[in-house]
Amino acid sequence: MELSADQSIITRPSQAGPIAGRAQLAGFTLTEAQSGAASALERLLDVIGGATPASDEHGRGVYLWGEVGRGKSWLMDAFLASVGHDRTWRIHYHDLFRHFHRAVYEGTPAAHTSGRTAVELALDELIGNRVVLCIDEFSVNDIADGMLSYRLFTELFSRGLYLVVTSNYRPEQLLPHPVYHEMYLPGIEQLSRELAVVEVGGAKDLRAMSPSAGSTGSAAGASSAEASHASTQAFRRGRLVSADSRGDLDPVLAAWGLSAGGATSISVGHYKLDATAVSDDALRIDFAALCRTARATLDYLNLTDRYRRIVIDGVPRLSAEPEAVRRRWIKLIDVLYDRAVEVVLVSDHSLAEILDTVHANRDTARTNSRLQLLRSR
């Protein structure tokens, strides 16, 4: 069952609750859709605190979905800040899956002798005594991750954890591949059964508005407050530089220790990448090395473990690139944004020309929204 913001089942005015209260303290008012989501989250707070018994259906948490820039992550963080104890974990889905993959791999030998599965042992390590798990930007784009996520959520629910999940997709839209979607139906049914599914709608990408626009009482407040997060602030410090504008690029290269240049090879997990220049925590690399050869999200996560400032040369018009390249670019920007990496894009094209406005989908919209935060020089 899905709850929309205006359904009567949402009975308690969110303006009286802790999440809306945090919005008011920050100087803004929630939109109608955000208020509906806040009400669902506040009911979950009552369940966690013991004030309200959990229902048999949709009692394990809340699934917030909607277009980019509607304030979902801010709502999650406001919920987390209101829980009242530290037995919680907030993590981006990409990072959760990386930890989960590693723990399952490392736990497989022990599973052969313990009588328990590698998944159970992995979650023993990752979850510990936590009771609340918040997963940001959940998505399923291939069947392998879909099957593993189904096992992950099955075990999480069996342990009695409460979950808050954000996504650009309603459960029925996950893994849209026409061949594999039906195979993931058990996962979709599981999420829809265990979690209250709430749309955080709205006509505008509020993230694209200036932070000050939401700090004076406007409905953009939740997404503007989201812009104060470390990841968003780091990304906003990035910029787009014209390839022939040495006066704008050279100071960045000097400040980041990348002026010397010279081709070099760096290790990323089990792979080697050809780079133009490296320093202790900064990297200069070509778009082709990152996106025109086979790369996975795990590769970008490993890359950003070491390099916190990255210059990417030769960024093309994304709408003209093959689908596989566009998909890697989306994953790369997701990781750079969520891991608070400061990025400089070097291109012969303007930002408007770089953005993919041809292949319309929510992943592309999310990427475009984030790229529009960059300053053009």
Is the per-residue pLDDT at 248 higher than 90?
no
Kindly state the tokens that stand for 45: 């707070």
| Encoded tokens for 329 | 């670019």
CA angle 313, 269, 88 (to 5 degrees): 100
Residue 206's pLDDT band (cuts 50, 70, 90): low
Local structure of residue 332 (DSSP, 8 states): H
User: Is there a contact between 326 and 290 (Cβ–Cβ < 8 Å)?
Assistant: no
Task: Calculate the average pLDDT of the chain.
Answer: 84
**pLDDT band (50, 70, 90) for residue 10:** very low
Question: In terms of pTM, does the model score above 0.85?
Answer: no
Residues 5-23, mean pLDDT to the nearest whole number = 57
- CA proximity to 137, closest of 95, 101, 104, 177: 95
Residue 349 to residue 243: CA distance in whole angstroms: 8
Pairing of strands 271-275, 342-347: unpaired
Higher pLDDT, 27 or 310: 310
Instruction: Give residue 254's pLDDT.
Output: 93
Q: Which residues lie closer than 8 Å to 116 by C-beta, 6 or more apart?
A: none
Give the residue from 6, 2, 1 showing the smallest Cα distance to 202. 6
Could you give the dihedral angle defined by the CA atoms of residues 271, 141, 307 and 357, in that order, rounded to the nearest 10 degrees? 120
Q: What is the pLDDT of residue 55?
A: 72
pLDDT at 102 exceeding the cut of 80:
yes
70 Cβ contact list (under 8 Å, min separation 6): 33, 34, 200, 201, 202, 205, 206, 222, 223
Angle of helix 185-194 relative to helix 143-158, nearest 10 degrees, comes to 30
Q: Is pLDDT at 342 greater than 90 in this prediction?
A: yes
What's the pLDDT score for residue 233?
Answer: 75
Whole-number pLDDT of residue 269: 74
Cα–Cα distance measured from residue 150 to residue 156, given in angstroms and rounded to the nearest whole number: 10
pLDDT the model gives residue 204: 63
Report the percent of the chain where pLDDT is more than 70.
87
The pair of three-digit structure tokens given for residue 373, joined into one six-digit string:
């935060």
Mean pLDDT of 325-332: 93
Burial of 230 (0-12, 13-18, 19+ CB in 10 A): exposed
Average pLDDT over residues 162-170: 95
**Quick check: 345 pLDDT over 90?**
yes
Task: Write the DSSP assignment of 160-182 as a string of letters.
Answer: T-EEEEEESS-GGGSS--TTTGG
C-beta of residue 223 within 8 angstroms of C-beta of residue 369: no
Positions of E strands within the chain: 2-3, 61-65, 88-92, 132-136, 162-167, 196-199, 239-242, 264-268, 271-275, 277-278, 282-286, 309-313, 342-347, 375-376
Report the DSSP beta bridge partners of residue 165: 63, 135
Specify which residues 264 forms β-bridges with: 275
Residues 6+ apart with CB under 8 A from 7: 36
Most confident region among 77-81, 199-203, 218-222 by mean pLDDT: 77-81
Least confident window among 144-153, 176-185, 197-206: 197-206
Query: Collapsing DSSP states into helix, strand and coil, what is residue 136?
Result: strand
Domains along the chain with CATH numbers = 2-226 (3.40.50.300), 230-376 (3.40.50)
DSSP state of 132: E
